Amino acid sequence: MRIFLAVWLFVVVATVSILGFRGEKFRKPPIWLFPDMDIQAKYLPQGQNEFFADERNDRPMVPGAVLRGYNWDVKEVFDGEYEFAKAENPSAWTGKDESGEFIKEIPIEVTYDLVQLGQEKYTIFCQPCHGRVGDGNGITKKYGMAATPTYHDDRLRDMADGEIFNTITHGKNTMFGYGMKLNPEERWAVISYVRALQLAQNATVEDVPEQHRKELGL
Amino acid sequence: MANIFPKWSNTAPIQIVICLCLAVGTVVAGVTYYATPKYLRVGYQPIQPVSFEHSLHVDQLGLDCRYCHTFVDRSEHSNVPAASTCMNCHSLIKTDSPKLAPIRNSYESGEPVPWVKIHRTPDYVYFNHSVHINRGVSCVHCHGQVNEMEEVYHAKPLSMAFCLECHRNPENFIRPVDEVTNLTFSYDSREEQIEQGTKFVHDWKVNPPQSCSGCHR
């Protein structure tokens, strides 16, 4: 009995000292205790693939590929009646009219929902540099991003919506393009929100509807 | 007549039973404690090619998760950002930091940055990020307080029991959709969580699958 207890104690102490406790940090890849079919020969998003020279599963877009199904209603896209959205309203994809001029107005319907979507996307993607109210005083200014312009001058108030669209899509000066992160509708939504910011920052008491003035203490 | 059995044999059966119980009990306890993802996976903190600090970018700078993990709310997969996303800021900020060299190389050459994947479910598990994000399941529920992590580690077990805990009682966890990427959000009390959660479950028609094929294919 004594011998058994001694061995038992030794085994327990040895196990705990080798394996440690739950939640301890470790660097080596975790062990799959029952690997069964946990790791299959299939391609996962952003995974590795020895077959290609760059070892990427996700293939870069082939030049000239036609964009299809990007965040669109799948049922609509695969419906026989479906008309290619880009052909229907080309300005919504380029920000330009037929003659190549920047369009002056947002080519899709501006609703309250669209502005709200714009606010959401603005907060995620634009606010870090352009600031909450679009004055160019985002958090990055503290860290050396000095040249962010304010939206609240005549140059940007009078800028055609299409040109802003072009800037969001392709970037400008030190700003990189956000076309990969925002689809066209979201880009127009951001523009609608930027316009709302411009109005809000350049407004007088008269612009506030009568019934809301009290709420603001005006 | 001499005794056939020596005196110690009186206590032998009880000793054998005690030893067996102790041995079996210890093995059961050991397997329960060690052979689960709570031990095997929680705490996994691989060395990444770039020591990206989530706590700095999220807590201090206030970046939203979706600035980098852009498509998490519309894709099954939460994307790791391309080097160009880092360069949006780092083309001007800390441009000669040696820590960022892999990012600059990747941006110039087009070669991917070899990030090490931390959270991995078995390949027969079809977890869809967007479905959860759009129904009030926060990042924090499965990934822990990433906003406070200097170096990301595996914080939750992500075992099937872990999934089912929420799939059986979603009202204990879900929150308003616009608070999903706010990792510090929580209701003041458990009662409020359940009250609001029950409302969301009803309003959004949340019906998490508990059948096998809901997640396993």
What are the structural domain ranges in chain B?
40-48+121-215
- What's the CA gap between A168 and B71, in Å, rounded? 18
- Give the pLDDT of residue A73: 57
Q: Phi first, then psi: give them for residue A44, nearest 5 degrees.
A: -105, 155
Chain A to chain B, count of Cβ pairs less than 8 Å apart?
Answer: 104
- What's the CA gap between A186 and B119, in Å, rounded? 30
- What's the CA gap between B70 and B107, in Å, rounded? 18
Of the candidates B161, B169, B164, B172, the one whose C-alpha atom is nearest the C-alpha of residue B196 is B172
Each residue's pLDDT tens digit in chain B (217 positions)?
Answer: 678 888 888 888 999 999 999 999 999 999 999 999 999 999 999 999 999 999 999 999 999 999 999 999 988 999 999 999 999 999 999 988 999 999 999 999 988 899 999 999 999 999 999 999 999 999 999 999 999 999 999 999 999 999 999 999 999 999 999 999 999 999 999 999 999 999 999 999 999 999 999 999 8
ipTM of model = 0.86
- What's the CA gap between A102 and A161, in Å, rounded? 7
- What's the CA gap between B77 and B129, in Å, rounded? 6
The SS3 assignment for B192 reads helix
Nearest to A22 among B19, B42, B80 (CB): B42
CB contact under 8 A, B67 and A124: yes
**Which position has the higher pLDDT, A64 or A67?**
A64
CATH number for A91-205 (one of 3.40.50.720, 3.30.1370.100, 1.10.760.10, 3.90.480.20): it is 1.10.760.10
CB contact under 8 A, A30 and B44: yes
The SS3 assignment for B30 reads helix
Chain A hits for B92, Cβ within 8 Å: 144-145, 174
Give the 3-state secondary structure of chain A. CHHHHHHHHHHHHHHHHHHCCCCCCECCCCCCCCCCCCCCCCCCCCCECCCCCCCECCCCCCCCCCCCCCCCCHHHHCCCCCCCHHHHCCHHHHCECCCCCECCCCCCCCCHHHHHHHHHHHHHHHHHHHCCCCCCCCHHHHHCCCCCCCCCCHHHHCCCHHHHHHHHHHEECCEECCCCCCCHHHHHHHHHHHHHHHHHHCCCHHHCCHHHHCCCCC
Q: pLDDT at residue A70 above 60?
A: no
- What's the CA gap between A170 and A188, in Å, rounded? 14
Q: Which of A10, A142, A143, A170 to mutate against chain B (most B CBs within 10 Å)? A: A143
- Give the pLDDT of residue A193: 96
What are the structural domain ranges in chain A?
91-205
Q: How confident is the model at residue A80 (pLDDT cuts 50, 70, 90)?
A: low
Chain B hits for A176, Cβ within 8 Å: 84, 87-88, 91
Q: pLDDT at residue A1 above 70?
A: yes
CB contact under 8 A, B93 and A145: yes
Chain A: residue whose CA lies nearest to B217: A37
pLDDT tens track for A193-213: 999 999 988 888 888 888 888
Q: pLDDT at residue A79 above 80?
A: no
